[in-house]
Structure 1
Amino acid sequence: MLEDQVAFLLQKYLGNYVRGLSKEALKISVWNGDVELKNMQLRPEALNALKLPVRVKAGFLGSVKLKVPWSRLGQEPVLVALDHILILAEPATQVEGSSEDAIQEAKKLRIRELETRLLESQQHLKSETNTSWLGSLISTIIGNLKLSITNIHIRYEDLESNPGHPFAAGATLSRLSAVTIDDFGKETFATGGALDRIQKFAELERFAFYFDSDIHPWSIDKPWEELLPSEWNQIFELETKGGKSDSFVLKEHSYILQPVTGDAKYTKLRLDESRNTGQALQKAVVNLDSVTLCLSKDGYRDIMKLADNFAAFNKRLKYAHYRPQIPVKSDPRAWWKYAYKVVTDEMKAARCM
């Protein structure tokens, strides 16, 4: 029963973001206790549901590993490891009206949502008799989840916010890991009432944020979906050592945040313990080494232009369903109607306020 739920959740969430995910193969892997998915490409529409002024131009997920100790579940941690998250994003601020394709896509999305709700209700009915046991087990699993994320490079390129001055912003991370620890700082496994008082320790390695002004966007000689993993590594500045990519080649970038390393400790006390001692119920302590922040004059200029573009996008998105599908010169009357509807809607909203 629990294996089916894990497979269902992986299919539900991963399937929305990556291509070529086999439902049956995923279910078999989950039952075996070791799930390893390699060299997957992210869907360009991965961010559409968030309605952001950004879209994924290309994306690559090197591997997803999930190790579930079914025979000792509740006694050993579940391991989740993500490696090589490489994303290239661009503006998605050209608002279009509701085309037939967009309408069909919305209908498909609605159907998928209904199917998901139906499956969730079926899973809920199956587990009703074991609600307390299952809830306790899930709490134990989440409380002791062992997480490892390595080699992340997310880059955003913008040609439209400041015409004539293209820029790019990016974030890189070599490693992020998190484990459950005891009062002495050693890795442990918490069960039962121990979950009411839990401590997590995280390590961060070489996290950086850059903002490059007046740059040339990346260009490649073939479609993104045809790239080999080694070519993704080369484009996204990953260094290969002994056949394995394990660190970033930090090329010339204008860093807002220079590569920084550190660690963090999160503590959640029991409610009665917090009241008796007067300590915070939850506390996080972060230690970072050599933090250096810097923003150039050109970077500040481009960030302000970016903010203006995003603000305009959010305003246009509100009335995208009125927007004509043809150029202004082809039918000025339709565009005047569009302007009239927008203005009247604004006036109605103002009167209500």
Structure 2
Amino acid sequence: MVFESLVADLINKYLGDFVENLDRSQLKIGIWGGDVVLQNLDLKESALDDLDLPVKIKAGHIGKLTLKIPWKNLYTEAVVATIDGLYALAVPNVAIKYDAEKEEKAKQEAKQKKLQQIEDAKKAAAEQGKEKEPKKDSFAEKMAAQIIKNLQIQISNIHVRYEDSYTNPDHPFSIGISMADLLFQTTDENWKPCVVKEAVNQIFKVI
């Protein structure tokens, strides 16, 4: 179905850097209910790499991710992503054992990502260079932009553990953090939750 393909592309684009083996076959879409449900997802070891942090994900798991898309009221209601059960084990970057197969896979994914960025940049430059009426956004592009503008994320049952046996081998330690809930919302310029209905140059988010 068209919606299934569109949502699968969006999920793969924005979650692909964080979730291992994201597969369209995992998608369950209830068109009337507007729900996309993904269960038992594993976090990638490279999930934090773009943040350039001194830690790395050794293991991670998402119990259930539900994406509620109000297809009939997309411009008046928020898209809500609910994550129930987020568990992550972090370690110092140097503590990850070298895995040739994973390393090669990560390199290939990084190359594909870079190639896609170059391709997108070429297309954007080509469009700007054409002396004609600017190309109008496609239906898929408009929908993707609207979803991102008003995306609300609710995460519950969070447990993050950090283990360090490298910094001081004689005194390894671990620490854990648990949170009941974490909420990300779109707001107006006064930081009041809202739904953005028109085209804007800035989007405000609060955690």
TM-score (normalised: structure 1):
0.43
Once residues 35 and 183 of structure 2 are traced to their aligned partners in structure 1, the CA distance between those partners, rounded to angstroms, is: 19
Once residues 202 and 166 of structure 2 are traced to their aligned partners in structure 1, the CA distance between those partners, rounded to angstroms, is: 50
Aligned to 1:59: 60
Post-superposition shift, 1:83?
Answer: 1.9
- Superposed CA deviations along residues 317-342 of structure 1, whole A, max 9, x for unmatched, are xxxxxxxxxxxxxxxxxxxxxxxxxx
What SS class does the counterpart of residue 158 from structure 2 fall into?
strand
Task: Indicate yes or no: 2:181 matched with 1:166.
Answer: no
Which of 155, 163, 168 is the matching residue for 1:157? 163
What SS class does the counterpart of residue 66 from structure 2 fall into?
strand
Q: Highest Rg: 1 or 2?
A: 1
Once residues 88 and 158 of structure 2 are traced to their aligned partners in structure 1, the CA distance between those partners, rounded to angstroms, is: 8
| AA aligned opposite 1:113 | K
Aligned to 2:40: 39
| AA aligned opposite 1:56 | I
Q: Where do residues 78-89 of structure 1 align in structure 2 (5 Å cutoff)?
A: 78-89=79-90
Once residues 12 and 69 of structure 2 are traced to their aligned partners in structure 1, the CA distance between those partners, rounded to angstroms, is: 16
- Superposed CA deviations along residues 155-201 of structure 1, whole A, max 9, x for unmatched, are 1111121222111233322112345678xx996544237x6898877
CA contact (8 A) 2:185 2:193 kept: yes
Give the 3 Å change call, closer, same or farther, for CA 70–3 of structure 1 in structure 2.
farther
Q: Give the number of the structure whose residues are more often helix, by fraction.
A: 1
Identical aligned pairs, as a percentage?
Answer: 34
What SS class does the counterpart of residue 29 from structure 2 fall into?
helix
CA contact (8 A) 2:58 2:96 kept: no
Q: Where do residues 116-135 of structure 1 align in structure 2 (5 Å cutoff)?
A: 116-117=116-117, 129-131=135-137
Post-superposition shift, 1:84?
Answer: 1.2
What SS class does the counterpart of residue 9 from structure 1 fall into?
helix
Once residues 119 and 10 of structure 1 are traced to their aligned partners in structure 2, the CA distance between those partners, rounded to angstroms, is: 20
Once residues 179 and 106 of structure 1 are traced to their aligned partners in structure 2, the CA distance between those partners, rounded to angstroms, is: 31
Aligned Cα root-mean-square deviation (Å): 4.5
Q: Which has the higher contact order (CA 8 A, sep 6+)?
A: 2
- Superposed CA deviations along residues 254-281 of structure 1, whole A, max 9, x for unmatched, are xxxxxxxxxxxxxxxxxxxxxxxxxxxx
| AA aligned opposite 2:167 | S
Give the 3 Å change call, closer, same or farther, for CA 47–200 of structure 1 in structure 2.
closer
What SS class does the counterpart of residue 11 from structure 2 fall into?
helix
CA contact (8 A) 1:147 1:177 kept: yes
Give the 3 Å change call, closer, same or farther, for CA 154–108 of structure 1 in structure 2.
same
Post-superposition shift, 1:67?
Answer: 1.0
Aligned to 1:16: 17
Once residues 81 and 116 of structure 1 are traced to their aligned partners in structure 2, the CA distance between those partners, rounded to angstroms, is: 29
CA contact (8 A) 1:77 1:146 kept: yes
Once residues 66 and 152 of structure 1 are traced to their aligned partners in structure 2, the CA distance between those partners, rounded to angstroms, is: 18
Aligned to 1:175: 181
Q: Which runs of 5+ in 2 are unaligned?
A: 127-133
| AA aligned opposite 2:158 | I
| AA aligned opposite 1:44 | E
